[in-house]
Chain A
Amino acid sequence: MRYLPNTAQNQRAMLDAIGVRGVKDLLTKIPAKARLSRPLALLPALAEADLIRHMRGLAGKNADADGWTCFLGAGAYDHYVPSPINHLILRGEFFTAYTPYQPEASQGTLRTIYEYQTMIAELTGMDVANASIYDGASSLATAALMAHSINGRREIALAGGLNPLYRRVVETYVDGPGLKLRDLPAPEGVVDLDAVRRVVGAKTAALVIQSPNFYGCLEDVAATAELAHAAGALLVVVSDPVNLGVLEAPGRQGADIVVGEGQGLGVPLGFGGPYLGVFAAKNEFVRRMPGRLVGATVDLDGNRGFALTLQTREQHIRRAKATSNICTNVALCALMATIYMSTLGKRGLVQVGELSTAKAHYAAERLSAVPGVSLRFAQPFFKEFTLRLPKSPERVAAKLAKQSILAGLPLKTFDRKLGDCLLVAVTEKRTKDEIDAFADALAKAVA
């Protein structure tokens, strides 16, 4: 067994040193009636070459974004991933290290997290970012709990454009503390500000708004910030950081907490995870934040060094009174994002945003010119938009899949009122030719 180095001779020598005859003499505390007397019923072990063949067979049954042209979004996007990311994260010193609890032997990880915190704070326009939460949805859920812990209020108001999958995660997380969710309608694709005025009040811990929202529409974050703050509530903004080369930083629009899915920052699509939960806040809330934080300090010789800090917020110190239960986070995905942001830099991220929105607008124009097809909402959008189709979106998507086009997401299962709609995302990777082919195929499919 190539992962088990003990030879029979090694085992004998170790057993002799311990003073027992066999390993079973070390296992006597396991109750006899619960000892497993048969082999586990698992599929047989495979040699490496056979295993690769088997895995290729499974992988080959999936419509990956290499063989298919991907117009799917809804929280996961086919953005460009620069080549150095994969090479660097595979360095075993990063890859096989644990959480940097021994800082002297973990300066590499600690420095990358400090860089990550700096870049996320800069992009979002916030004071401080943590070392990551699992994904965008769980990041939002912990932000809702943090808002409640800051102001003690018990309602979370959710703007209607919030990704419905995120809403379900928030619902799960607020069940324990018994917080109440209030849904604000978005009949025209963006939140109804009159509804915000009616619902957001003295009981509201936080107003949550996503921009661009699930339907792709840009929300007036600054206007909702004013309404939330007038009611003494916090504003939590759900933002996709890869858009923030072009779109205004939520921190400049009045956000108190910014969360989001960082997958677009160099993390592979990977069928939904692991992804990157971005979490940033104003400085005044730092001691209420969930998750790890890295701070700069000095060592005994006065040299700069980095360490995990403000750990009294965390579960391993504070236990039942911790700000969150999170321990393992997604440090390696945060490293991917750090390398991505270093690689794209000040100008690259602007170009990614400009190209994405250019292609999305071109696609929206071409696709909505197909007879019977129209844009569902008359709102400004960025890289994603909702189309209304004259035929069943499920059937249309199935037809286009036969031409290796992943046309977008039929919205019926997410919002029954949008049963005739398809959500289409266009990143900087899509070409004019691919968009034209999509439009031609769509025209045939709905004819």
Chain B
Amino acid sequence: MPYDNQRAYDRLIFEMSSPGRLAFSLPESDVPVDPALAAVPEKYRRRDPAALPEVSELDVVRHYARLSQMNYGVDTHFYPLGSCTMKYNPKINEDMARLGGFGRLHPLAPEALSQGALALMHELARMLAEIAGMDAVSLQPAAGAQGELAGVLMIRAYHEARGEKRSKVLIPDSAHGTNPASTALAGYEVIEVKSDAEGQVDLGDLERHLGPDVAAFMITVPNTLGNFEPRVMEIGEACHARGVQVYMDGANLNAILGLTRPGDLGFDVCHFNLHKTFTTPHGGGGPGAGPVGVKAHLEPFLPVPVVAKRDDTYTLDWKRPRSIGKLQAFWGNFGMHVRAYTYIRTMGADGLRAVSENAVLNANYIMKRLEGHYDVAAPGPCMHECVLSARRQKKQGVNAMDIAKRLLDLGFYAPSTYFPLIVEEALMIEPTETESKETLDAFCEAMIQIAKEAEANPRAIHDAPVTTPVRRLDQTKAAREPDLRWRPRG
């Protein structure tokens, strides 16, 4: 729960500024300054100093410490946010990412003097390839959406290399928004494929769209209703028979570690979200990392450079004429690679399999405990997450958003709401394997309490949240009168 006095804290760093205060420590110059400044033409020099705050070091520390207390995080709260895999982020990962040889290494340091970093990247790529049953992995994409873009661009390059012009990509209507957005960015027309009543791909609709102009079919496994598509291999075979590549969105990989592998299921490409499955922190929205894995026929198109091993030396291989190019200036979010590597080395093969088994067990337990109180979007068993619908509560005047807000008052972060789009009043719950039965029980009891309140006293739910630093916000005002930066009063 937030600190009681948080409601009283309503300051921005600019409002604490007092001319003359400072929080930094810089040395006196040991070389002449004036001649250097004179060498920078006046027209290139700043005329008015930037109006940044003037505060002391304690001002900075206390302000941001107090702002942090206005957040819920995994370290403080159960965070059952579906599709986001808000699992515990191990502290040892942070220590390892801060070792000087990793954290203070310049990306353009000579290869001979970066062998430890390159070795780590090479081994991480190999381990991810093994986990996914892929032939090669690029660690370069900065996040899942960039991994998708890289994957779709590789598919495009592959078709073009074979002299085929294909213009469409098929994506289920249950997909994450990044799937169509990344695909459109790669120059494709997006065709939405319908889902059936249980949230699975409507095979008839898929069949109707599968033509010679289709480049790829993109699907999340397990799907966004938390279910494993039992016919996923048949779908892949039907696609391949028509020259269509199949792409797996790996957002839900936490469900299948060591149980099955995208490559074995027939996928040509998949991306990983290191910030979901492999415990790198979400950081309030990022950074993440979105490595992309491919089968051998797509390997020539991987982003450059590729970390290669020759004899016992690691090198950045730029000589890849069929590469799709580059996605970031350097080699990827290396800090996240160190954390993910640390995690995989902590868990080992048996540990990773236990991760998915417990994630699946926890999700099914929640679904079982709540199925009498909420509608279930699709029959179980589910995989690592379950999707409920608040359609029953909606008839009582309480929608999914109300339930989410009430949970905040009861000491839990909210599930994902209104996603997937194909489920009315969706509440998508992903407990992860790092939560205990006691926590799951406490959460289920809160959900059951809310279901009862919806029957007896819906008004109390409409008022929620009341314990958070602010109450419900006027989103319409935020959008109609955008106030996107602070300005001094008067």
Contact = CB atoms under 8 A, between A and B. Distances in A.
A109 B46 contact: no
Contact of B287 (A91, A261, A273): A273
Interface string B238-257: 00000000000000000011
A409 B110 CA distance: 9
A45 interface: yes
B335 interface: yes
Contact of B116 (A31, A58, A338): A58
A31 B230 contact: yes
Contacts of B436: 5-6, 10
B144 A327 contact: yes
Contact of B478 (A119, A261, A307): A307
Interface residues of A, number: 213
A90 B94 contact: yes
Contacts of A105: 71-72, 77, 408, 413-414, 465, 468
Given A4-B433, A65-B104, A118-B486, A331 B326 contact: no
B5 interface: no
A279 interface: no
Q: Name which of B14, B63, B333, B351 has the most chain A CB atoms within 10 A of its CB.
A: B333
A41 interface: yes
A63 interface: yes
B73 A273 contact: no
A341 B178 CA distance: 32
A398 to B, nearest CB: 7
Contacts of A249: 46, 50
Contacts of B209: none
Interface string B311-354: 00000001000001111111111111010001011111111111
B302 interface: no
Contacts of A4: 351, 354-355, 358, 433-434
Nearest to B330: A272
Contacts of B358: 4, 6, 11
Contacts of A11: 358, 361
Contacts of A304: 10, 470
Contacts of B116: 57-62
Contacts of A428: 26
B455 interface: no
B50 A122 contact: yes
Contacts of A82: 23-25
Contacts of A151: none
Contact of B364 (A26, A96, A121, A333): A26
Interface in A177-212: 177-178, 211
Interface in B255-306: 256-261, 264-266, 273, 275, 279, 281-290, 303-304
A307 B474 CA distance: 9
B52 A119 contact: yes
Contact of A36 (B258, B328, B330): B258
B96 interface: yes
Interface stretch (B29-37, B388-396, B446-454): B29-37
Contacts of B460: none
Interface string B171-189: 0000011101111111110
A107 B10 CA distance: 10
A194 to B, nearest CB: 20
A61 B265 contact: no
Interface in A79-97: 80, 82, 84, 86-97
A218 interface: yes
B260 A104 contact: no
A261 B329 contact: yes
A268 B153 contact: no
Nearest to A426: B31
Contact of B365 (A5, A18, A173): A18
Interface string B77-113: 1010100101111101011111111111111111011
Nearest to B381: A26
Contacts of A362: 31-32, 36
A59 B102 contact: yes
B457 interface: no
A301 interface: yes
Given A45-B347, A97-B284, A325 B106 contact: no
A374 interface: no
Q: Name which of B10, B100, B285 has the most chain A CB atoms within 10 A of its CB.
A: B285
Nearest to B75: A92
B470 A128 contact: no
A113 B334 CA distance: 24
Given A42-B344, A45-B347, A328 B145 contact: yes
Contact of B41 (A102, A218, A349): A218
A114 interface: yes
Interface stretch (A132-140, A153-161, A225-233, A439-447): A132-140
Contacts of B344: 42
Interface residues of B, number: 209
Contacts of A294: 484
A416 to B, nearest CB: 14
Given A62-B109, A104-B468, A347-B22, A98 B36 contact: no
Contact of A320 (B184, B331, B369): B184
B23 A401 contact: no
A412 B396 CA distance: 70
Contacts of B100: 59, 64, 66-67
A42 B49 contact: no
Given A3-B90, A59-B101, A245-B46, A117 B485 contact: yes
Contact of B405 (A80, A96, A104, A344): A104
B67 to A, nearest CB: 4
Contact of B81 (A18, A42, A72, A98): A98
B484 A172 contact: no
B46 A39 contact: no
A137 B32 CA distance: 34
A78 B326 contact: no
A387 interface: no
Nearest to A56: B99
A55 B342 contact: yes
B46 A246 contact: yes
A92 to B, nearest CB: 3
Interface in A268-322: 268-275, 286, 292-301, 303-307, 309-312, 314-322
Contact of A104 (B68, B74, B229, B469): B469
A30 B259 contact: yes
A315 B282 contact: no
B203 interface: no
Contacts of A42: 127, 130-131, 344, 348-349, 352
Nearest to B116: A61
A177 B32 CA distance: 50
Given A76-B107, A171-B325, A245-B49, A29 B183 contact: no
Contact of B286 (A1, A329, A344): A329
Contacts of A62: 101-102, 105, 109, 113-117
A298 B473 contact: yes
What are the 5 tightest A-B residue pairs by CB atom distance, in nearest-first order?
A92-B75, A272-B330, A45-B348, A59-B101, A332-B283
20 contacts: A3-B355, A18-B381, A28-B381, A39-B349, A55-B342, A63-B106, A66-B100, A72-B108, A129-B485, A134-B142, A248-B46, A273-B333, A295-B483, A298-B477, A299-B473, A339-B64, A345-B53, A358-B37, A401-B110, A406-B113
Given A23-B361, A95-B73, 16 more contacts: A6-B433, A31-B232, A61-B115, A80-B26, A96-B76, A96-B89, A104-B471, A107-B470, A113-B284, A138-B142, A271-B107, A272-B329, A316-B419, A320-B181, A327-B145, A331-B287
